[in-house]
Amino acid sequence: MAQQRIDTMTVSKSRKYFGTDGIRGRVGVWPITPEFVLKLGWAVGKVLARQGDGKVLIGKDTRISGYMFESVLESGLSAAGIDTHLLGPMPTPAIAYLTRTLRAQAGIVISASHNPYYDNGIKFFSALGTKLPDELELAIEEQLEQQMTTVDSAELGKAIRVVDAPGRYIEFCKSTVASDVTLNGLKIVVDCANGASYHIAPNVFKELGAEVIEIGVEPNGLNINLQCGATHPELLQKTVLAHKADLGIALDGDGDRVVMVDHKGHILDGDELLYIIARHRIAQQTFKGGVVGTVMSNLGFERALNELGVEFVRVSVGDRYIMAELHKRHWSLGGEPSGHIVCQPTLTGDGIITALQVLAAMRSQHLHLAEIRSGMNKFPQILLNVTAPQTLSIEKPAIQQAVKDAESTLGKKGRVILRRSGTEPLVRVMVEGEDEAQVRTLAQQIADAVTAEV
């Protein structure tokens, strides 16, 4: 198995502001400032205005800075002559869906996803509900270099609030499983990470018949992702065991990723959820093509798919690259171990819909989550995050030597990946192999080598 080292910063090196998932950073630190986001809204509006008349949807998660950025985006778009429809707090995949169904020119999400409250970001969807094409992102960046102007008062954009957005999305989520799928008799813990899904996810599962125990549904602007949700599933584990629930579902702050917990308290990550969905679709004879994963996908996952006769390909980390590969191959299923999973008919990662596909598989096979996960044996995989400035080169000789030493030790029975985060000032170290103790030691040696160069 070939080892891989990927620096995601090289993917978007031609861009000044856009990263792998929009623009993200610390609130108050350029470019995540009111001044910049005001001009960003204007630049987006000017680019869209060249394509014709239309409207733009704006949604957000629950972090406190969302109110500020929603206002300045609306102002910038208005100055460019573009109307805005305000959705309020809504999951990222809901905004993608509504952008398409409401026939908007674009959708804007104000969110830093799984990051803490003091970060925020702006990302965009096209009229089709997909990520913006590269050429549009580059056009927006070029427009940002121009002096901001305001259209004539008679041409200013207007803003209205969309009041039925939650209900529209709840019905869409339910429509992604067969009409005879019910959750009657299931006790489910749902952790919404005090994020954008707090008023959506519990209702989806309740309306399908489940008894729902809600946690992470009291956002105050500061507690999004705070010791809860998909990035901190420990709370979900404890709650499932304490209530003797059948399973638990944890979303992240903007609802585009999910992890699940079985009744024994075991966590199922994105690889395991993908495997369950793929195997179920094969049994239902609705599966076509293969599965797209990333360089972080577990080697055990790849081998389990191969045993099912399913082709598996890896791409760089990020749903942008997963979607591009799915579109290229005309496949319908892909995702990441983090729980960011794309399973059509969705066009982006969707935590609620992913969970529903897993629940549908459980109901069809009359199995518990602990039972339906069988058939895939994960390799021990250690992921370490090392805080490092973006200026640090991971190509430094000492760092590369540590990687080569680890690769030599593992041989063909493991993988080493060293890459920059596309959204945070981190270097991510991943080592995977058959021996957990050995993998942990090798990962720490590489992390120490990175730290020594900071």
Q: Where are the domains of the chain?
A: 8-165, 186-267, 269-378, 381-453
The fold of 8-165 is: Alpha-D-Glucose-1,6-Bisphosphate; Chain A, domain 3 (3.40.120)
Q: Retrieve residue 37's tokens.
A: 């986001």
- Tell me if the bond preceding 166 is cis, omega within 30° of 0: no
Residues acting as catalytic residues? 113
Phi, psi (5° rounding) for residue 449? -65, -40
| Domain 186-267 shares a fold with domain 269-378 | yes
pLDDT value of position 5: 39
Question: CA torsion angle for 413, 452, 10, 132 (degrees, to 10)?
Answer: 90
Q: Cβ distance 231 to 252 under 8 Å? A: yes
DSSP string, 385-404: EEE--TT--TT-HHHHHHHH
Amino acid (one-letter) located at 1: M
Cβ neighbors of 450 (< 8 A, separation 6 or more) are 386, 388, 392, 394, 399, 418, 427, 429
List the CATH code of the domain at 269-378. Answer: 3.40.120.10
pLDDT value of position 14: 59
Residue 362: name the closest of 186, 200, 229, 244 by CA.
186
pLDDT value of position 16: 82
pLDDT value of position 344: 82
Q: What is the pTM for the complete model shown?
A: 0.89
Is the domain spanning 381-453 CATH 3.40.50.720? The answer is no
- Show the low-confidence residues of the chain (pLDDT under 50): 1-13
Assign domain 186-267 one CATH number from 3.40.50.620, 3.40.120.10, 3.30.497.10, 3.30.710.10.
3.40.120.10
Cβ neighbors of 358 (< 8 A, separation 6 or more) are 260, 273, 276, 277, 369, 372
Burial class (CB in 10 A: 0-12, 13-18, 19+), 184: exposed
pLDDT value of position 53: 84
C-alpha angle 402-406-411 in degrees, rounded to nearest 5: 150
